[in-house]
Amino acid sequence: MGSEVTDETNGWQEAWEAAENGAVAVMDCHEEIPCNPCQEACPNGAIRVEPHVCALPRLDPGACNGCGRCVALCPGMAVFLLDRRERNGFARVTVPYEMGGKPVEGDVVQVVDGEGKALTEGKILKVRAWGGEAPTLLLTVRVPEEVALKVRGVRYRLIELDEGLEVENAPPLLDYPICRCEDVSLQNVRETLRSGVRSLLTLRRATRVGLGYCQGLFCQSSLREELAAAAGREAWKMGSFRVRPPVRPVKLGRLGGENA
Amino acid sequence: MPEVMSSEVVVIGGGVIGAAIAYYLCREGAEVMIVEEDDLASGASGACDGFVSLQTKAPGPHLRLAMESAQLFPELAEDLDVDIEYRRCGGLLLATSQEQMKELRGRAKALKAEGLEVEILAAGDVKDFLPEVGKEVKGGSYCPLDARVNPISLTLGLAKKAQEMGATILRGCKVENIVVTNNRVREVHTTAGSIHSRRVVCAAGVGSNQIGKMIIVDVPVLPQRGQILVTESREPVLKTLVAGAEYLGTKANIQALMPADAESAKLGLGFTAEQTASGNLLLGSTREFVGFDNQTTPEAMNAIARNALRYLPWVEDMDVIRSFAGLRPCSPDGLPILGTIKGIRGFYLATGHSGDGICLAPVTGVTISELVLDGETSLDIAPFSLYRFK
């Protein structure tokens, strides 16, 4: 089965081996953007987004207990669980499911890869829900081991169901980091706005929003909305972050290299 | 109809100097109004590094002023409600040639004579302070009293505390004229209305020349651009402040410590490095006279990066996420201009701090507050008088 494991840099080989003893997360993330809910989700600290918030996540399979929180919380649906404990040529794969319909255990569904191509059919062994009003479902399907690492989703026919799902109730999100790079919370920004701050630059000096790795590329529009809500008709005066080179992070070695 | 206001003292400028003066004035119970054209720390105080460096000061009055200031920082860190990230982290000054070493040795001797603790380090000793240094580094000097601070937090913290003690801060308010009658300051005209005041402090940094013109006094302060690179945030890798001897050369105009190549000399390039509390490395810097242009330039960014690699080759794999430039209020000799004006009572100058505004802010605050309220200062500020240039 080792031939299936191609992306060793993402710790897949280790995950593949660890999966013999039970469920373990596999990270299929290629987005170098300021995003780290997976790190926050993991109760065991098995996922690290380092050295900065735009880095790719790294998983320590030894520390992963296969709880699946990261699978539910990854906004890019780039994490799945692999479980090979049956050791009979079949593996259990847990993928997030955010389409309509109400999946139920025992159903046979089409298992698809990242491009939506059907791989095989598989039986849903378990349905879990995580989140509040619109939960992300975690579907565990049984598939032949040789396709296990390719599974990214299931294709499901709409089934009407009488009984409601058991939903794990997560508290509503009142606060979250509005600037992920510098870990500045929404409430901190709102408090600063209440003190009379009316421009993006002043907000930055006071809270460090937009001073991190992405330089405000990702948080600027959310911050504008917060400013507009606080400043009302004065919003046009809010200005913008002063754009200074480099446009994208550049290695010092390159900036100061002989050919620079 | 513009409002008519009044205040016992008006401080022109909401940078670190203006905020410090307001803070110390308020501590003495004075009524203070800060008039700021843009916003707090929107000029040089918000576009600089956090060096509170003593060994780079000129032996004599300049060093004494800085040493006095250094003593005030711990108390400030206690008193302000904002964390100003003050750390007495020590500072290194590195030499890349034997000539530079010789100059540093002579300088260390002079600094020691003034009571500053400075240690000369051989190339091998430098390794105790840094993970790795470039091959060119021949040694350096170390001052354990050198410290760092977050300049923006310091400015905002001082202003906030002053405000709590009763100071008024007028943001986005530009001074248009200053009225002097019978040899005394009477009124400050601003875009937000007139302020009646018999005491006006000019802490306007690079805007001081413009303010001086309003009372027909030539305040010789020119904007000097300093560019700085910011790296991504990392775990603590740099315990101390680090500067190259050329930094001192371009700062104090010491021929023996000037950059060797013409391009670096033109940029006024001198190496500085500091790791902020948030983990970013600030790498500097340049000294350029380009008017009020505060853009960063590719030439300077390349030069700063190249220079940084000479001293600390291991920064090679760090990402540069931003560059910024600040306009330092540069006086002809690089020392601050503090004191009164001949023939105009009630007007005080606290400007021209060049690259030392952050370091000298506390002592400037104390001294100017004494001068404004008592007419005399506990520290002799005669060497910093405007009239030394005439």
- CA of residue B196 relative to chain centroid, distance: 30
The answer to whether residues B231 and B103 belong to one domain is: yes
The answer to whether residues B122 and B201 belong to one domain is: no
pLDDT band at B343 (very low <50, low <70, confident <90, very high): very high
Residue B255 covered by a domain: yes
Query: Higher pLDDT residue, B280 or A108?
Result: B280
CATH number of the domain that residue B123 is part of: 3.30.9.10
The answer to whether residues B281 and B237 belong to one domain is: yes
Mean pLDDT across A53-63 = 91
Distance between CA B193 and CA A226 in Å, rounded?
31
Chain B nearest CA to A254, separation (Å): 8
Residue B189 covered by a domain: yes
Is B128 near chain A, with CB under 8 Å?
no
The answer to whether residues B237 and B209 belong to one domain is: no
Instruction: Give the count of alpha carbons within 13 A of B80, CB side only.
Output: 28
Q: Collect all residues of chain A within an 8 Å Cβ-Cβ radius of residue B42.
A: 201
What ipTM did this prediction achieve? Answer: 0.87
Look at residues B330, B348, B373 and tell me which one is the last residue of a structural domain: B330
First to last CA, chain B: 43
**Tokens representing A238?**
């809010």
The answer to whether residues B180 and B292 belong to one domain is: no
Torsion of CA B12, B14, B15, B16, to 10 degrees: 100
Residue B57 covered by a domain: no
Residue B58 covered by a domain: no
Q: The domain containing residue B127 runs over which residues?
A: 91-144+222-330
Residue B62 covered by a domain: no
The answer to whether residues B279 and B251 belong to one domain is: yes
Q: Collect all residues of chain B within an 8 Å Cβ-Cβ radius of residue A246.
A: 301, 320-323
Q: What is the pLDDT of residue A4?
A: 45
Is B306 near chain A, with CB under 8 Å?
yes
Chain B nearest CA to A223, separation (Å): 19
Q: What is the mean pLDDT of chain A?
A: 85
∠ CA(B28), CA(B29), CA(B30), 5° rounding?
100
The answer to whether residues B39 and B159 belong to one domain is: yes
Look at residues B312, B330, B348 and tell me which one is the last residue of a structural domain: B330
Q: What is the pLDDT of residue B163?
A: 97
Percent of chain A clearing pLDDT 70 (strictly above) = 87
Q: How many domains does chain B have?
A: 2
Residue B80 covered by a domain: no
- Name the pTM for this structure: 0.81
pLDDT at A232 over 90: no
| A171-180, B79-88, B216-225, range with the lowest pLDDT | A171-180
CATH number of the domain that residue B17 is part of: 3.50.50.60
CATH class label, A173-260: mainly alpha
Q: What is the pLDDT of residues B17-59, one digit of tens each?
A: 999 999 999 999 999 999 999 999 999 999 999 999 999 999 9
Q: What is the pLDDT of residue B125?
A: 93
Is B278 near chain A, with CB under 8 Å?
yes
3-state helix, strand and coil shares in percent for chain A, rounded to the nearest 5: 30, 25, 50
> β-pairing, A250-251 with B119-122?
unpaired
pLDDT band at A244 (very low <50, low <70, confident <90, very high): confident
The answer to whether residues B138 and B233 belong to one domain is: yes
Look at residues B309, B330, B351 and tell me which one is the last residue of a structural domain: B330
Residue B265 covered by a domain: yes
Is B233 near chain A, with CB under 8 Å?
yes
The answer to whether residues B244 and B197 belong to one domain is: no
Distance between CA B247 and CA B243 in Å, rounded?
6
Taking the domains of chain A in order of start, what are their residue ranges? 2-155, 173-260
